[in-house]
């Protein structure tokens, strides 16, 4: 997927690996596509553990909270999923995409 995403100088994929090695269940959310005004570029990652701790960013506002919730479910059932957030949804303002952007995020459990 190209260069590793860093947030504040921290490589979130390194965080995922460290969490996994310490015995935590981990899911990785990756921005797959963006349209219009999107806060984070394609390839951005959010790493989530089974307790809802997270590192990185795929968007902002409530989208992040929604992705963390879905990631916890992915950890629970092991089934990856594609999420889409956008202004076409009535929840767009609530999830922080008021600028006309849409994003598609893929969430998978780290084996």
Q: Is residue 82 part of a domain?
A: yes
In a domain, 10, yes or no: yes
Give tens-digit pLDDT for 18-50. Answer: 999 999 999 999 999 998 777 789 999 999 999
Q: What is the pLDDT of residues 44-103, one digit of tens each?
A: 999 999 999 999 999 877 788 899 999 999 999 999 999 998 755 555 555 555 556 788
Q: Which two tokens stand for residue 74?
A: 């992915």
Query: Is residue 1 assigned to a domain?
Result: no
In a domain? residue 47 = yes
Q: Is the pTM of this model over 0.85?
A: no
Rounded to an integer, what is the distance from CA 94 to the centroid of its chain?
17
Residue 93, domain extent: 6-109
Does some domain include residue 85?
Answer: yes
Structural domain total, the chain: 1
pLDDT value of residue 1: 39
In a domain, 80, yes or no: yes
Dihedral of the alpha carbons of 69, 72, 110, 81, in degrees to the nearest 10: -60
Q: Is residue 67 part of a domain?
A: yes
């Amino acid at each position: 997927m190209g260069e590793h995403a860093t947030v504040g100088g921290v490589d979130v994929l390194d965080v995922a690996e460290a969490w996994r090695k310490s015995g935590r269940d981990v899911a990785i959310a990756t921005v797959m596509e963006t349209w219009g005004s999107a806060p984070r570029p394609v390839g951005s990652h959010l790493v989530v553990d089974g307790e809802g701790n997270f590192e990185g960013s795929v968007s902002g506002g409530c989208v992040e909270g929604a992705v963390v919730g879905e990631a916890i479910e992915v950890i629970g059932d092991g089934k990856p999923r594609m999420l889409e957030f956008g202004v076409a949804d009535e929840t767009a303002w609530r999830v922080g995409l008021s600028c006309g952007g849409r994003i598609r995020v893929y969430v998978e459990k780290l084996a």
